[in-house]
Chains A and B, each alone.
Chain A
């Protein structure tokens, strides 16, 4: 089992912290994991992104050139990463903020109104959790339980109310995938 993931959006959407949570959850599930942020020459207001690998074998390179899944949080990220998605890969699309759709016929799209669901739950900041919930349910890269359990380990400064909201957001995301 090998899943190379790129999560992308703009700064503040929790793309990096979401990636770390996913990697942490993989570790909890006993998988080999790596997390690699795009560092350095990133533009303010431009895209932030990170690569995560979850694998049953040792990971050679944490750099994901051709992802199996992409978690796209905003419009510019779709243009940037959709062409790199492997044939047969899955595009998780934050339809709250992205109006374009993929024109590729060799990939699958899972539409996730992440911001809307996050707002319903009380805070737009947990849109990243909605995306992760959908991704994990679909890919089974890690277990939903590990993801929910790891929230408290990764966001050590968050209070119980915020942690619970994040766990709910994960569940709501997962419910989108049948």
Chain B
């Protein structure tokens, strides 16, 4: 494979999406993700694709609806405030079963907030985000390499199940540079078979309809139940999670994305002092690795959740563990970035070691 390169997280994500087959991007600028549309603005035309700087976030997401309905691998990106604006369109895409892909490079909130790294959009990402009963496949990269390599999986899952998919990053992952290697060859988009639902010129085939509403009595309930069974399939097949040294652990640290990076360092510090600490790091945060948490909670009785938000991610940990272990929270919201030494201090406090 190619030699290592040094890239900014945002650019790596954009290049990863292009390699994974993205040929249509519409977006509207917002810090800290501006390098994504900037990169796409020259890279996509190079690949015969289309880049549009839309007049607004609302326009951008509805452009995705159109392009996706025609079968393209599409993408948009934004940061919290912009993703909020896009939620109506995302919900419509979910309702129309369109496999869109988008990224949220999270900044501090609520409101206009700041431009610092944050994980405050966890609920928004993992609970659907817009109105209605739908879920989005959400991957949480923890390095520039993963920013580059996760878009491929997002498209794969989105097209397989016809659900939206997204990457939940943060300003730190977007802005930092790190060496990276792509773990896949660029997808040749001409070899991707056309799905049997895409719109286009109808040359004698059966009429196809892409829409997100159905007023006929009972039809929407039927559709929702169908979505439910799709969600169950995704939950059964698509969970990705990293566990490190949980076997002998007396305490398990857990976090995703940037927080997980710091958890790993805190684990190393603790182990150096003879404190047996493990790490669970969900890579998909929807579907959530419930089973893995539950199994580990049968053995380990102390969990420490680290998140750059006020206690959103911890809810999924609680729902997975169901009271089997004690859970503490270390939180650094809206620009606070956890520090390994700081976490080690909390671990010692919990375990009563000085």
Interface residue ranges, A against B (CB under 8 Å): 20, 23-24, 27, 33-37, 39-41, 57-63, 65
Is residue B89 contacting chain A, with contact meaning CB distance below 8 A? no
B179 touches A60 (CB 8 A): no
Q: Which residue of B lies closest to A41 (CB)?
A: B115
B265 CB contact (under 8 Å) in A33, A58, A63: A58
B177 touches A34 (CB 8 A): yes
B171 neighbours in A (Cβ, 8 Å): 39
Question: What are 17 A-B interface contacts by the 8 Å CB criterion?
Answer: A27-B179, A33-B6, A35-B176, A36-B176, A36-B177, A39-B115, A40-B115, A41-B115, A57-B268, A59-B261, A60-B265, A61-B258, A61-B261, A61-B340, A62-B176, A63-B337, A65-B339
A63 touches B172 (CB 8 A): yes
Interface residues of B in 238-283 (CB under 8 A from A): 258, 261-262, 264-266, 268
A20 CB contact (under 8 Å) in B6, B31, B261, B262: B6
In the bound assembly, the distance between CA atoms of A27 and B144 in angstroms comes to 14
A60 touches B177 (CB 8 A): no
B262 touches A60 (CB 8 A): yes
Interface size on B, residues (CB 8 A): 23
Q: Which residue of A lies closest to B175 (CB)?
A: A39
A61 touches B115 (CB 8 A): no
In the bound assembly, the distance between CA atoms of A61 and B265 in angstroms comes to 9
In the bound assembly, the distance between CA atoms of A27 and B339 in angstroms comes to 24
In the bound assembly, the distance between CA atoms of A63 and B340 in angstroms comes to 12
What's the least CB distance linking A169 to chain B, in Å?
Answer: 21
Proximity bits, B116-150, A CB within 8 Å = 1, else 0: 00000000000000000000000000000000000
Proximity bits, B159-188, A CB within 8 Å = 1, else 0: 000000000000110011111000000000
A40 neighbours in B (Cβ, 8 Å): 31-32, 115
In the bound assembly, the distance between CA atoms of A60 and B339 in angstroms comes to 8
A39 neighbours in B (Cβ, 8 Å): 31-32, 115, 171, 175
B6 CB contact (under 8 Å) in A35, A63, A65: A35
In the bound assembly, the distance between CA atoms of A34 and B12 in angstroms comes to 14
Interface residue ranges, B against A (CB under 8 Å): 4, 6, 31-32, 115, 171-172, 175-179, 258, 261-262, 264-266, 268, 337-340
B177 CB contact (under 8 Å) in A20, A57, A58, A65: A20
What's the least CB distance linking B314 to chain A, in Å?
Answer: 20
Q: Which residue of B lies closest to A57 (CB)?
A: B268
A58 CB contact (under 8 Å) in B172, B175, B264, B339: B264
B32 touches A23 (CB 8 A): no
What's the least CB distance linking B257 to chain A, in Å?
Answer: 12
B258 neighbours in A (Cβ, 8 Å): 61
B172 touches A36 (CB 8 A): yes
With known contacts A27-B4, A41-B115, A60–B340 Cβ distance under 8 A: yes
The residue in B172, B175, B177, B179 that gathers the most chain A C-beta atoms within 10 A of its C-beta is B177
Question: Lowest 5 A-B CB distances belong to which pairs?
Answer: A60-B265, A35-B177, A40-B115, A62-B176, A27-B179
A61 neighbours in B (Cβ, 8 Å): 172, 258, 261-262, 265, 337-340
What's the least CB distance linking B88 to chain A, in Å?
Answer: 28
The residue in B6, B32, B264 that gathers the most chain A C-beta atoms within 10 A of its C-beta is B6
A27 touches B172 (CB 8 A): no
In the bound assembly, the distance between CA atoms of A58 and B264 in angstroms comes to 9
In the bound assembly, the distance between CA atoms of A170 and B4 in angstroms comes to 24
A34 neighbours in B (Cβ, 8 Å): 176-178
B264 touches A23 (CB 8 A): no
B264 neighbours in A (Cβ, 8 Å): 58, 60
A60 touches B178 (CB 8 A): no
What's the least CB distance linking B78 to chain A, in Å?
Answer: 16
A62 neighbours in B (Cβ, 8 Å): 172, 176, 178
B262 neighbours in A (Cβ, 8 Å): 60-61
